[in-house]
């Protein structure tokens, strides 16, 4: 029934000594006690818990690690909501397997910006001897290697990795494996591995097929073959036929802890919308841009041209006139542009350049002075970020930038500066991933992403485990613009989004959602129509089955 294997190292060692036994009894007993302390006496308990030098995991994290090992048999999707400590859970799993001797060789694939952080956490919190991959010899020289996915999938690394056996592979930000035609997915699929952990807060973004692709890596056939999956589970791209059935099919491979259900006491969260009135010049510019977008929208829709630049422009103009300049510039150079549109664009461009004052920026500066404490200002746009930094500094407020594109060292540096020297951190969206700023409890959303998931990720940077104070969120919005509606939608109906985001079986496709919003704005004749249509939209989302046990 089982394979029976006898190790002969001790016999070999003795032979090397010519079968002459020597050594001290005291050391013999000491070694026995060390061995006693190193073994795992039961299948079910976590043996690693007494061996964690500097981390005290939360109950839900311990339960998750146990479930992955005992019930999911070591191949699992860790899909906790943001801020619950998925890294700790993955760390517990790798540590436990190592303590038991089930894992010796492990590969941890993460975005490049997180390589050093993962390496540090595994070493410091879990005393796991992990190395950041540096060159082609790293793969064979070290047992536990943390590497960026992008490096790993390039030669010569790829061939070396595929030539080895891994006891455990962990993929962080695993939503980057949602498409099975990409190099990322194929790499992970081809690695020979015993255990596999996929870690992501957003296993489904736009299409149910994404979760199918993730699950395929863990256990092919769990959701049937592509045809039966489509017929059994998919109503349309984003709606499952039978959420209950899909949920139970996922249950044997997925752990998803939710903030609401975890026993972690998150501090209070206060959200406030600050409604501003634009200056006359700003309002004129806004109207001009909106008018242009409406026209272009009709033209582009009937000519099957991309609507993306319009969505971008509409969102940028809500942020600041500065943010819109690069897009306006690009559109101006578009050879397919009809000449009347070009003229109109030239005019808009000039108007944008000559706006005399900036309502939202002034408000931000006022707020920063009023709060007189650490503060993060989020914006989606580089141009807005630069401008905000400039204006804040000009008002005597120490501010530092933070971007996803920064190298790890620079990110740490900026975080340090923010913690010890500056009052304000001006961050773009991409600044979010994997950095923890719990020492700050004030957030201004200078502009809002049209995607509730991203709003949650922003807030999750500060409203997470380790935050000791209540968190204050200020959403800036200008009256009589799209923003007014967006803020209302994202803030007042946030309950709806919480319900939706939390559920894997109801998918709110970000891109499709953005498109739908734009459609609503350009097709409506007036504000009251916008309101009515948004109501319908939110009702429709709410109706999607999302009630869980």
Instruction: Please state, as a whole number, how many other Cβ atoms lie within 10 Å of the Cβ of residue 540.
Output: 10
Rounded distance, CA 82 to CA 432, Å?
Answer: 11
Record the tokens describing residue 272, joined without a space.
């406030």
Rounded distance, CA 388 to CA 278, Å?
Answer: 17
Q: Is 171 in the site for other proteins (CB under 8 A)?
A: no
Q: Is 470 in the site for other proteins (CB under 8 A)?
A: no
Instruction: Indicate the helix (H) or strand (E) that contains 332.
Output: helix 321-332
Candidates 10-18, 109-117, 333-341, 540-548; binding stretch for other proteins (CB under 8 A): 10-18
| CB burial readout 412-422, b (16+ within 10 A) else e | eebbebbeeeb
Record the tokens describing residue 154, joined without a space.
């390039």
Distance in Å, CB of 409 to other proteins, minimum: 24
Would you say 10 or 372 has its CB closer to other proteins? 10
Candidates 42-50, 231-239, 311-319, 422-430; binding stretch for other proteins (CB under 8 A): 42-50
Binding letters toward other proteins, positions 379-418, x by CB under 8 A: ----------------------------------------
Q: Is 53 in the site for other proteins (CB under 8 A)?
A: yes
| CB burial readout 128-157, b (16+ within 10 A) else e | bebbbbeeeebbeebbbbbbbbebbbeeeb
Q: Answer yes or no: are the C-beta atoms of 107 and 168 closer than 8 Å.
A: yes
Would you say 44 or 265 has its CB closer to other proteins? 44
Q: Is 479 in the site for other proteins (CB under 8 A)?
A: no
| CB burial readout 43-53, b (16+ within 10 A) else e | eeebbbeeebe
Q: Is 194 in the site for other proteins (CB under 8 A)?
A: yes
Would you say 158 or 305 has its CB closer to other proteins? 158
Distance in Å, CB of 467 to other proteins, minimum: 24
Distance in Å, CB of 27 to other proteins, minimum: 4
Q: Which of 19, 265, 272, 526 binds other proteins (CB under 8 A)?
A: 19
Q: Which of 118, 139, 185, 195 binds other proteins (CB under 8 A)?
A: 195
Rounded distance, CA 498 to CA 495, Å?
Answer: 5
Of 373, 420, 422, the C-alpha closest to 397 is: 422
The owner of tokens 């736009």 is 206
Q: Is 52 in the site for other proteins (CB under 8 A)?
A: yes
Q: Which of 16, 54, 421, 528 binds other proteins (CB under 8 A)?
A: 54
Q: Is 190 in the site for other proteins (CB under 8 A)?
A: yes
Distance in Å, CB of 34 to other proteins, minimum: 4
Q: Is 18 in the site for other proteins (CB under 8 A)?
A: no
Q: Answer yes or no: are the C-beta atoms of 423 and 374 closer than 8 Å.
A: yes
> Does residue 376 sit in helix, strand or coil?
strand
Of 215, 242, 203, 192, the C-alpha closest to 72 is: 215
Q: Is 12 in the site for other proteins (CB under 8 A)?
A: no
Q: Is 137 in the site for other proteins (CB under 8 A)?
A: no
Site for other proteins in 296-355 (CB under 8 A): none
Q: Which of 32, 137, 390, 413 binds other proteins (CB under 8 A)?
A: 32
Candidates 66-74, 284-292, 373-381, 503-511; binding stretch for other proteins (CB under 8 A): 66-74
CA distances to 227, 281, 324, 349, 510 from 354, rounded to whole Å, are 57, 9, 13, 9, 34
Backbone angles phi, psi at 407, to 5 degrees: -70, 160
Q: Is 39 in the site for other proteins (CB under 8 A)?
A: yes
Q: Which of 135, 164, 228, 353 binds other proteins (CB under 8 A)?
A: 228
Q: Is 549 in the site for other proteins (CB under 8 A)?
A: no
Binding letters toward other proteins, positions 95-134, x by CB under 8 A: -----xxx------------------------x-x-----
Partnered with residue 34 across adjacent β-strands are none
Backbone angles phi, psi at 425, to 5 degrees: -110, 120
Rounded distance, CA 38 to CA 32, Å?
Answer: 10
Q: Answer yes or no: are the C-beta atoms of 432 and 447 closer than 8 Å.
A: no
Would you say 30 or 245 has its CB closer to other proteins? 30
State CA 205 to chain mean position distance: 11
Q: Is 16 in the site for other proteins (CB under 8 A)?
A: no
Would you say 227 or 263 has its CB closer to other proteins? 227
Residues of this chain that interact with other proteins (CB under 8 A) are 1-7, 9-11, 13-14, 17, 19, 21-43, 48, 50-54, 69-70, 73-75, 100-102, 127, 129, 189-190, 192-195, 220-221, 224-225, 228
């Amino acid at each position: 029934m089982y394979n029976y294997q006898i190790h002969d190292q001790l016999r070999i060692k003795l032979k090397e000594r010519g079968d002459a036994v020597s050594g001290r009894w005291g050391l013999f007993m000491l070694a026995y006690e060390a061995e006693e302390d190193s073994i795992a006496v039961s299948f079910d308990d976590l043996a690693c818990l007494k061996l964690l030098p500097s981390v005290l995991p939360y109950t839900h994290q311990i339960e998750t690690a146990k479930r992955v090992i005992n019930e999911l048999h070591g191949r699992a999707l860790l899909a906790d909501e943001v801020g619950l400590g998925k890294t700790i859970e993955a760390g517990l799993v790798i540590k436990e397997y190592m303590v038991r001797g089930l894992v010796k060789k492990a590969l941890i694939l993460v975005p490049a910006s997180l390589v050093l952080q993962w390496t540090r956490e595994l070493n410091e919190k879990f005393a796991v001897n992990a190395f950041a991959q540096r060159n082609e010899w790293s793969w064979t020289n070290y047992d536990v290697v943390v590497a960026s996915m992008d490096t790993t999938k390039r030669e010569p690394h790829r061939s070396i990795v595929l030539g080895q056996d891994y006891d455990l592979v962990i993929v962080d930000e695993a939503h980057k494996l949602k498409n099975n035609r990409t190099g990322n997915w194929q790499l992970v699929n081809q690695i020979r591995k015993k255990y596999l952990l996929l870690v992501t807060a957003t296993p489904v973004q736009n299409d149910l097929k994404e979760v199918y692709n993730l699950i395929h890596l863990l256990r092919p056939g769990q959701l049937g073959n592509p045809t039966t999956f489509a017929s059994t589970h998919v109503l349309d791209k984003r709606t499952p036929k039978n959420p209950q059935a899909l949920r139970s099919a996922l249950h044997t491979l997925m752990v998803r802890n939710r903030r609401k259900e975890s026993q972690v006491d998150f501090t209070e969260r206060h959200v406030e919308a600050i409604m501003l009135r634009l200056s006359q010049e700003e309002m004129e510019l806004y109207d001009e841009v909106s008018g242009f977008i409406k026209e272009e929208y009709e033209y582009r829709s009937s000519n099957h041209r991309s609507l993306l630049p319009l969505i971008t422009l509409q969102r940028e103009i809500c942020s600041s006139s500065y943010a819109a300049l690069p897009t306006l510039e690009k559109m101006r150079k578009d050879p397919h542009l009809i000449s009347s549109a070009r003229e109109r664009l030239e005019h808009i461009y000039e108007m944008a350049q000559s706006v005399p004052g900036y309502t939202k920026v002034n408000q931000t500066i006022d707020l920063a002075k009023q709060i007189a404490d650490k503060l993060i200002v989020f914006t989606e746009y580089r141009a807005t970020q630069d401008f905000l930094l400039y204006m804040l500094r000009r008002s005597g407020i120490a501010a530092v930038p933070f971007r996803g594109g920064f190298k790890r060292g620079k990110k740490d540096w900026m975080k340090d500066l923010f913690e010890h020297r500056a009052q304000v951190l001006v961050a773009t969206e991409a600044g979010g991933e994997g950095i923890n700023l719990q020492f700050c409890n004030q957030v201004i959303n200078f502009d809002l992403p049209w995607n509730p998931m991203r709003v949650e990720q922003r807030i999750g940077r500060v409203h997470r485990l380790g935050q000791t104070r209540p968190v204050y969120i200020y959403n800036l919005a200008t009256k009589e613009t799209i923003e007014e509606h967006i803020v209302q939608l994202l803030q007042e109906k946030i309950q709806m989004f919480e319900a939706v985001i939390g559920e894997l079986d109801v998918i709110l496709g970000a891109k499709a959602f953005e498109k739908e919003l734009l459609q609503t704005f350009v097709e409506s004749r007036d504000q009251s129509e916008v309101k009515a249509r948004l109501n319908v939209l939110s009702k429709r989302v709410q109706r999607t089955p999302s009630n869980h046990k």
